[in-house]
Amino acid sequence: MSQGNALTLSGLKKNFGRAEIIRGVDLDVRDGERHVIIGPNGAGKSTLFNLISGRMEVSAGEIKLFGKPIHNTPPHKVNRMGLSRSFQVTNLFQNMTTMQNLRCALLWGMGHKYAFWKLVNKQQEVTERAEQLMEQLNLTHRRDVPAGLLTYAEQRALEIGTTIGSGARVLLLDEPTAGMSRSESDEVVELIRQVTKDCTLVMVEHDLGVVFNLADRISVLVYGEIIATDAPENIRSNKAVQEAYLGTEVH
């Protein structure tokens, strides 16, 4: 069954104390697809990402990445298995420059690990890849600016860059366009389209324009349960979805 699936969630549950936030989620994310998760505020989308990426332990159920169980695995191990995530609230190395942030993101994936016998700046491959990324992110002119001093949109772009830097096969992006202007958001979507050409994307997004534009399939998460997973056009016409979610926001 899990053949051809990048991610498989089955019977996934998460409680905080007595509050059930994720209440039995089953979801298959196909290899290579762009899968967008939508749902009202507080539905548990970020929590779902936290479970998948190893930031939180699951209360019940299991998560498989290319058939290998990854639930309750520490984040760095999940990352090394080829899954990388971004954060809804920007989460960078604030004191480091754009260039340094990208290099940090690249080091492990390019095999430098904990090496203390070689200099980072002498690793030509890392430098070139980081510069390439910077070009894609439109941040080349901000190369030596500390991340904390970048504008919000630039920080969001760097957040994406840091996430894709490690060369993961599965990307989780949590609201990458939140708080951006129309044009900024369009740029980011274009960037996401580019960099996810040959990997799997799972993304949380509120902007329905972006969602229907980008998604191969959409899942709707409401109160910790997935009420529908389908192609965009079917989601649009799905009665349950309209009642629970779309109807209240799109007129």
Partner 1 sequence: MSTVQQETLAGSKSAGNIWVKRAWPWLACLVIALLAPTVLSSGHDIHMLSSMAIMMVFALAYNMLLGNTGLLSFGHAVYFGFGAYIAMHALRWSNNAVLDGTGYGVPIELIPLVGGLAGLFFGIIFGSFSTKKAGVVFAMISLGVVGLVEASSLAFTGFFGGEAGLFGDREDVNSLLGIEYGRSLTVYYLMVFWLFVCALLMFLLRKTPLGWMANAVRDNPERAQFVGYNTTTVRFMQFSLSAFFAGVAGGMFVLVEEIVTDEAIGFLLSGEVLLAAYIGGIGFFFGPIVGAALVVYLESNLSSISDAWLLYFGILFITVVMFAPMGIVGIIYQQWFNFRSGGWKGTIPARLYCTVTALIGLLGFICIVEMAYHYLRSWNPSAPMTLFVTTVDTTTALPWLVSVAILLVGLGLMLFHARPMLRRAVEAAGGNK
Q: Say how far apart CA 88 and CA 35 lie, in whole Å.
A: 17
Residues between 50 and 89 that touch partner 1 (CB under 8 A): 53, 55, 74-76, 79-80, 84-85
Dmax (CA) for the chain in angstroms is 61
* Site map 72..91 versus Mg ion, x via CB under 5 A: ----------------x---
- SS3 (DSSP) at 225: strand
Tell me phi and psi for residue 56, to 5 degrees. -130, 155
Find the shortest distance in angstroms from Cβ 20 to ligand ATP.
Answer: 10
Quick check: 103 binds partner 1 (CB under 8 A)? yes
Cβ proximity to ligand ATP: between 67 and 74 the closer is 74
Site residues (CB under 6 A) for ligand ATP? Answer: 16, 21, 39, 41-47, 88
β-bridge mates for residue 63, sequence order:
9
Q: Are 119 and 112 in contact (CB under 8 A)?
A: no
| Residue span binding partner 1 (CB under 8 A) among the ranges 10-18, 121-129, 184-192, 240-248 | 121-129
Q: Are 9 and 60 in contact (CB under 8 A)?
A: no
Find the shortest distance in angstroms from Cβ 132 to partner 1.
Answer: 10
Q: Are 202 and 226 in contact (CB under 8 A)?
A: no
Task: Compute how many residues bind Mg ion; rule: CB under 5 A.
Answer: 2
Residue with tokens 């901000």: 142
> How far does Cα 17 stand from its chain's mean position?
26
Interface residues with partner 1 (CB under 8 A) are 53, 55, 74-76, 79-80, 84-85, 91-96, 100, 103-105, 107-109, 112-121, 127-128, 131, 140, 143, 162, 165-166
Interface residues with Mg ion (CB under 5 A) are 46, 88
